[in-house]
């Protein structure tokens, strides 16, 4: 199950339990909408409560990342899991975005907001 929230230039997703293909499709739909109407967006993935993901989610994530390689500025990943930290690092190979892993949500949001504020001021 996922919970999503979004602002003008950011999409936040929190995953609870198993991350399924239906959940990922919901995420994709929201991100595609934001990109279409707002341009480049930032992402915040909260994976601290994720129990796992299905193989079809992994495949869909690879396809989605390749299709949207230039559509993200920054991606913040909230996790304490070393495997997910490594996975976030590998995902940088498919996207132009800067990817950082955090264990504190406030720090992750501050990083995304600081960048957005600095870019808006330029």
Q: Can you say whether the dihedral through the CA atoms of 102, 65, 90, 82 is positive or negative?
A: positive
pLDDT tens digits along 36-60: 999 999 999 999 998 888 889 888 8
The arrangement of strands across the sheet holding 2-6 comes to 2-6, 10-19, 41-53, 72-78, 98-102
> pTM value?
0.86
Instruction: Please tell me what DSSP assigns to residue 122.
Output: -
Nearest CA among 52, 66, 1, 54 for reference residue 27? 1
DSSP bridge partners of 45: 13, 77
Q: Which domains does the chain carry?
A: 2-121 (3.40.50.10600)
Mean pLDDT of 26-43: 94
Gap between the Cα atoms of 100 and 75, Å rounded: 6
pLDDT tens for each residue of 84-100? 655 665 566 568 888 88
């Amino acid at each position: 199950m996922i919970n999503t929230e979004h602002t003008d230039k950011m999409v936040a997703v929190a995953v609870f339990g198993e991350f399924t293909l239906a959940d990922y499709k919901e995420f994709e739909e929201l991100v595609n909408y934001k990109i279409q109407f707002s341009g480049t967006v930032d992402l915040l993935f909260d994976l601290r409560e994720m129990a796992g993901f299905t193989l079809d989610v992994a495949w869909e994530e690879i396809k989605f990342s390749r299709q949207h390689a230039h559509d993200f500025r920054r991606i913040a990943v909230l996790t304490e899991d070393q495997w997910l930290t490594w996975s976030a690092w590998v995902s940088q190979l498919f996207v132009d975005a800067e990817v950082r892993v955090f264990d504190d949500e406030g720090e992750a949001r501050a990083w995304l907001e600081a960048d957005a504020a600095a870019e808006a001021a330029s």
